[in-house]
Amino acid sequence: MPALVEWGLRDYQESLDEMRSMVRARRAGTIPDTLILVEHPPVVTVGVEGDDGSAATSGLPVVNVERGGRATYHGPGQIVGYPIVDLEPRARDVRQFVHHVEEIVVRTLVPLGISAGHVSGKRGVWVAGERKIASIGIAVDHWITFHGFALNVDPDLAAFDRFHPCGFSGGVMTSVARETGRATTVHDTIPQVVDAWAEVFGRPFERSLTASPPSGSLPARA
């Protein structure tokens, strides 16, 4: 059974180092498929497709990473999910896995009263095909996935105006709080993510923690 690890608010670079370590552990078979849920202090990450240079002038810390996609923002009020999953039993189908990660976000939003979906030619999850509520960026190492999704629950959306997220203007970004008009927290949203994972992959999380969390992290969720 897969494991769920919650890290709370944690530095991006520290999380990245730990995530890469867990990829190696998954490849060695010492941990099961694992979903990490975390919030980060404000940071812009730039994927392998690069950006137009606006990230460097955003005034925010910038980290170049190996995931797909271009530049995006992470910050408090955004739930970031990193699935560490072995694709060998999944026919090494990266495209299908990315679609499944998007579908997890889509189903997470349903009980929150938001209808969202996929848009052909646009990565991520969109509301009404026009407002981007979640970004998706996956990396694969020896058929083990890492990086993942970033769902805007109630972040500072003005941060997206400081660069061009995924090549778009910052105004395209939206959040759960903006769409519903209600204050919403990451903590309140996690149960919906857990349920959506089980619906999409057909496997609920186990109760025991199987991957060592960083100091100060939250325990695994049943």
CATH number at 137 reads 3.30.930.10
CB 134 within 8 A of CB 150: yes
Query: Which residue range(s) make up the domain with 38?
Result: 3-201
Active site residues: 166
On whether residue 177 sits in a domain, the answer given is yes
On whether residue 135 sits in a domain, the answer given is yes
CB 145 within 8 A of CB 139: yes
Q: What is the pLDDT of residue 219?
A: 35
Number of independent structural domains in the chain: 1
On whether residue 213 sits in a domain, the answer given is no
On whether residue 178 sits in a domain, the answer given is yes
Integer angstrom CA distances of residue 34 from 39, 115, 166: 17, 27, 26
Q: What is the pLDDT of residue 177?
A: 97
CB 8 within 8 A of CB 218: yes
List CB contacts of 129: < 8 A, sequence separation 6 or more: 117, 119
On whether residue 195 sits in a domain, the answer given is yes
DSSP state string for 50-98? ---STTTTSSS-EEE-SSSSSEEEE-TTEEEEEEE-B-GGGTT-HHHHH
On whether residue 23 sits in a domain, the answer given is yes
Q: What is the pLDDT of residue 206?
A: 72
On whether residue 45 sits in a domain, the answer given is yes
Q: What is the pLDDT of residue 146?
A: 98
pLDDT in tens, 15-36: 999 999 999 999 999 999 999 9
Q: Which residue stretches of the chain have pLDDT < 70?
A: 207-222
Neighbour tally for 92: CB within 10 Å: 12
Q: What is the pLDDT of residue 45?
A: 96
List CB contacts of 156: < 8 A, sequence separation 6 or more: 42, 75, 76, 77
On whether residue 217 sits in a domain, the answer given is no
